[in-house]
Structure 1
Amino acid sequence: MKIYNRPSAPAWADLSTTDVPAAKAFYGGLFGWQGADVPMEEAGGYGMFLLGDDYVGGYGPCMAPGQPVAWLAYYQVESADATAQAVTANGGSVVAGPMDVFDSGRLAVFADPEGAVFGVWQPKEHKGFGVVARPNSMVWFELLTRNTDRATTFYRAVFGWDDVAAEPYGTPEYTEWKLNGESFGGMMRMNGDFPPEVPPHWMVYVQVEDCDAAAAKARELGGDVHVPPTTIPPGRFALLRDPQGGVFSIISLAQ
């Protein structure tokens, strides 16, 4: 799976939602994912999205009052505790953890200096994604932030990501995250087109075979299309919102 599920690389993504059954129905209808609840009361309603027999992501109920419906991207680390120290030493903050998740692993949730929230995963029994970069699985992880210089400094220090390569998509507003020379995500500067109340955030992308058909299907299932299918150099993408408010992107790749 290329660079996924190894230190500093994307390891997992999960959805916190106000209506778990509705979310399972929406994403099942859109991507063919099956929901499998963790069969323990202590899991608090958490479950795994499966694409066939492979883990493609997770889901669970919003646990805190006022917690927004959102997808959360996780990056693999060798030590969640050591990463927490690196985060705070470089201007970030701890949102939750570090904490053990049964025998599955150890996690923590952080905010970078601009407020974008992300997670880290120290794997034990649960290694993370079982499938990536195929139709109906996660393929790209994108940071939207107003201070790209500060973000670059922070994520280099915390994860050791390679220097970002400028303008891979033909625009100075976009840069690319790399690990050991391989791309796994990007970063976009939030310009004046973004309302000031929209905070910096990480966006997950799901690969699809036909972006236009998937966007139309999302609307049929009760979701919204925030950015209609648009052609960009890597292919064709759209920004969608599920019926409970979770925002994510889809992309069909040109190659």
Structure 2
Amino acid sequence: MSTPMCPVVHFEMPYRDAARATRFYREAFGWQVQQFGPEMGDYLMATTASEDSAEPGTKRGVINGGLFPFQADNPMQHPSVVIAVDDIRAAMARVHAAGGEVMGEPMPIPGVGDYVSFVDTEGNRHSMLQPQMPG
């Protein structure tokens, strides 16, 4: 059985000052940044381009992302990518079998899906997301 190809769908980066980071990415790159409150971990959602579509003015194959508050006591506070998977438990098993380490259990993100971080064989922290099915 072959491993399914799983796309990068999101990026994440830490921030130390939300207003400063928002201003920088808006002014330097024209990103739209939306700040969520404490109930969503003070996350900054970054829209880097219009959604992937064939409509005029949009760009195909782009990803959007977000910024999270830097926490010195948390491990691996650096940029990472989020990879979409169809079955998060099966993907966790594949990461383990390939020599990576899954960091904890999947966390449900309301309206988004199940999310869990992992460390690859090179020491990079990334995450996987099983998107929530509509309905």
TM-score (norm 2): 0.74
Matched AA of 1:209: D
Q: In the aligned structure 2, how far is the partner of 1:166 from the partner of 1:237?
A: 20
- Coordinate RMSD, CA, aligned: 2.6
Instruction: Please state which structure has a larger fraction of its residues in strand.
Output: 1
Cross-structure match for 1:44 = none
Deviations 1:58-103, CA, capped at 9 Å, x for gaps: xxxxxxxxxxxxxxxxxxxxxxxxxxxxxxxxxxxxxxxxxxxxxx
Q: In the aligned structure 1, how far is the partner of 2:38 from the partner of 2:50?
A: 17
Matches within 5 A, 1:99-178: 136-162=6-32, 164-167=33-36, 170-178=39-47
Q: CA deviation at 1:211?
A: 1.1
Matched AA of 2:47: K
Which one of the candidate residues 214, 217, 223 is aligned to 2:100?
A: 223
Q: CA deviation at 1:235?
A: 0.4
Question: For structure 2, which runs of at least 5 residues remain unmatched after alignment?
Answer: 52-62
Q: In the aligned structure 1, how far is the partner of 2:106 from the partner of 2:117?
A: 8
Matches within 5 A, 1:48-59: 51=5
Deviations 1:108-132, CA, capped at 9 Å, x for gaps: xxxxxxxxxxxxxxxxxxxxxxxxx
Identity %: 31
Q: In the aligned structure 1, how far is the partner of 2:129 from the partner of 2:29?
A: 26
Deviations 1:15-69, CA, capped at 9 Å, x for gaps: xxxxxxxxxxxxxx7x54xxxxxxxxxxxxxxxxxx5xxxxxxxxxxxxxxxxxx
Q: In the aligned structure 2, how far is the partner of 1:139 from the partner of 1:207?
A: 6
Matched position secondary structure for 2:89 = helix
Q: In the aligned structure 2, how far is the partner of 1:138 from the partner of 1:217?
A: 17
Establish whether residue 244 from structure 1 lines up as the match of residue 118 from structure 2.
no
Question: For structure 1, which runs of at least 5 residues remain unmatched after alignment?
Answer: 1-28, 33-50, 52-135
**Alpha-carbon contact 2:31-2:48 (below 8 Å) kept:** yes
Q: In the aligned structure 1, how far is the partner of 2:22 from the partner of 2:114?
A: 26
Cross-structure match for 1:194 = 74
Matched residues, number? 120
User: Which structure exhibits the higher relative contact order, with contacts defined as CA atoms closer than 8 Å and separated by 6 or more residues?
Assistant: 2
User: Cα gap change, 1:211/1:193 in structure 2, threshold over 3 Å: closer, same or farther?
Assistant: farther
Q: In the aligned structure 2, how far is the partner of 1:249 from the partner of 1:211?
A: 10
Task: Compare CA radii of gyration and give the structure with the larger one.
Answer: 1
Q: In the aligned structure 2, how far is the partner of 1:177 from the partner of 1:238?
A: 20
